[in-house]
Chains A and B, each alone.
With several copies, the nearest count.
Chain A
Amino acid sequence: MTRLYNDPADFREELIEGFVAAYGRLVQRVPNASGVMVRAPQPDKVAVIIGGGSGHYPAFCGYVGPGLATAAVMGNIFSAPSAEQVYRVTKAVAGAAGVLYSYGNYSGDVLNFDMAQMRCEDEGMDVRTVLVTDDVASAPRGQEEERRGIAGDFYVFKLAGASAARGDNLDEVERLALKTNARTRSFGVAFAGCTLPGQRAPLFTVDAGQMELGLGVHGEPGISTGEMRPAREVADLLLDTLLADVPEGAGSRVAVMLNGLGSTKYEELFVLYKDVHRRLLAEGLELHDPIVNEMVTSLDMAGCSLSLLWLDDELAPLLDAPCTTPAYTIG
């Protein structure tokens, strides 16, 4: 339940102000816009602009900083930012090297980012978009481009940001972001819904002894309901689903991220991860720098998602490349 706020209508504005006040050493507010950007944008490099509704911290603003995203456009809780705000943020950071938009594939985000992109293109800017579509629960195989983006967001942002930071051109940043997305799969479960600021009831409830399969990161209920199970069976459920959907050309090296949605806490995630890890090794996979943390949350929703990114020799160094952001730093 969201409890700390003043007027719910001011939530986004106060959140941005507080965030920039806390992390002013790394980020700055985009003047006159609902967004934040790196302190020193580099006009000769591709600008990677991410964004979406609020309520997913560290996504999106927590991933802005050298080596990761150039800027984040911040909507209200669970609402895509408007095209106007996307446009303003783009104008503030775009340089000659062009712009990559990357965000989860949701109707509202696509509509608003697309309108901003058209406006920027009309002004002569080179803007590309890579939608994140990692959630296997949201559309069947063969319709991958219909899928929504959940925790896989992080991998696509990280690799695109690393590519841009080392000076790759826009074609290359776009290609690597597309490739990362194509090789990322996620699946999640939820145990309880979250409550929006100012509201009393959660967005959905889960009966005792049940869990929701195929969560969304906006408090949407799952795609189906199943029986709650011990951690080791949850690990198998997550992995059975993901391993039934291995992307084309996947090798045996895989980055793995177990993401907490908000109130399924770290200790539980580690207990679950124990079995995830064992099983991945038993499947003959080589694991690259696992992450067990809250990476893309859904307010205080209870649940978690597991993401796999099948790496190769060109993606692995991008994942490992240094970055410094409020929420994620590689030294």
Chain B
Amino acid sequence: MTRMESTTNAQQVVRLWLANALALVGEHEEELGRLDAAAGDGDHGTTMVRGLRAANAAVTDAKGSAGELLAQAGAAFSDAAGGASGALVGMWITTIGQRLGDGPYDLPALLEAVQAGTNRVARLGKAQPGDKTVLDALTPFLAALEAQAAAGASLGDGWRAALPAAEQGAAATREMVARRGRSAKLGERSLGHADPGAVSMCYLLRAAADAFDRAGDE
């Protein structure tokens, strides 16, 4: 799809995204827990699943634009998930929703919204790229998405084309020493395992790509 045609269509994409995200993260719940246990407290998988369940429930019967749905989903996510990722990922979703508002829902708008959400995460978490956090997936993803937008790509194609950058970014956290969050206390011991928050963010981004595709097919 090039852009979400109608309001209904955009709302549908939000619902699809959250459902896909829950399915994908749910499949990897144990893996995320193990990654977190390596230098943290092992709850990242259950935390993300709990948050996504609540986010899905929040949009089931909710009314409003796609942007409003996202804002509500983010709040529900934060409240149910708790922890660092509850606060950060929830805020990210909410900010994206607030920026998107009633649309338009095209690639430049989404780029701007995700950029705003990511900035807010960085500010809230006082983290920078290289600190071994969710930002290490988001920052390269945004760079790639920006290039896609500049090249005039459609929403669905541009987003999907940017995914590998996020995944490489997440994989690269394996060689990083954590400087933020719980695992920062472990210093060198955090080496050798990818950051769970960066990995789960890749699942969220991939779930969105699938939602764009499926909504485009319908």
Which chain A residues have a beta carbon within 8 Å of chain B's beta carbons?
8-9, 53, 75-85, 106-108, 111-112, 115, 135, 137-139, 148, 196, 198-199, 203-204, 216, 218-221, 223-224
B189 in contact with A223 (CB, 8 Å) = yes
B42: nearest chain-A partner, CB-CB: A203
Are B42 and A79 in contact, with the CB atoms below 8 A? no
Binding site for A on B (CB under 8 A): 33, 37-43, 46-47, 50, 53, 75, 78-88, 90, 124-125, 180-187, 189
A128–B82 CA distance with the chains assembled, in angstroms: 21
Q: CB distance A196 to B87 under 8 Å?
A: no
Residues in A with CB closer than 8 Å to B43 are 53, 76-79, 196
**B80 touching A219, Cβ below 8 Å:** no
B residues in contact with A82, CB < 8 Å: 78-82, 86-87, 90
Residues of B within 8 A of A106 (CB): 84, 182
16 A-B pairs with C-beta separation under 8 A? A9-B53, A76-B43, A78-B43, A80-B83, A80-B87, A82-B80, A83-B78, A85-B82, A106-B84, A107-B180, A108-B83, A139-B185, A196-B33, A220-B39, A220-B183, A221-B189
Inter-chain contacts of A203 with B (CB < 8 A): 37, 41-42
Given the contacts A108-B86, A203-B37, A216 and B81 also touching, CB distance less than 8 Å: no
Contacts of A84 in B (CB 8 A): 75, 78-79
Complex Cα spacing A198 to B33, Å: 12
Cβ-defined contact, A108 with B82, below 8 A: yes
Question: Which residues of chain A are within 8 angstroms of B81 by Cβ–Cβ distance?
Answer: 79, 82
Determine the main DSSP class of B at the interface with A.
helix
Given pairs A79-B81, A220-B186, 6 additional interface contacts (CB within 8 A):
A76-B46, A79-B83, A112-B86, A115-B87, A203-B41, A220-B40
A78 to B183, CA, bound (A): 14
- Given the complex of chains A and B, what is the CA–CA distance between A221 and B82 in angstroms? 22
Q: How far is the CB of B81 from chain A (nearest CB, A)?
A: 7
List chain A residues, Cβ under 8 A from B33. 196, 199
B42 touches A219 (CB 8 A): yes
On whether the beta carbons of A78 and B181 are closer than 8 Å, the reply is no
* Shortest CB distance B143–A (Å): 25
| A104 CB to nearest chain B CB (Å) | 11
Give the residue of A77, A111, A148, A219 whose beta carbon is less than 8 angstroms from that of B125.
Answer: A111
B41 and A111 within 8 A (CB): no
Question: Once the chains are docked, how many angstroms separate the CA of A85 from the CA of B82?
Answer: 9
Q: Which of A53, A80, A81, A82 has the most CB of B within 10 A?
A: A82
Minimum CB–CB distance from B91 to chain A (whole Å) comes to 8
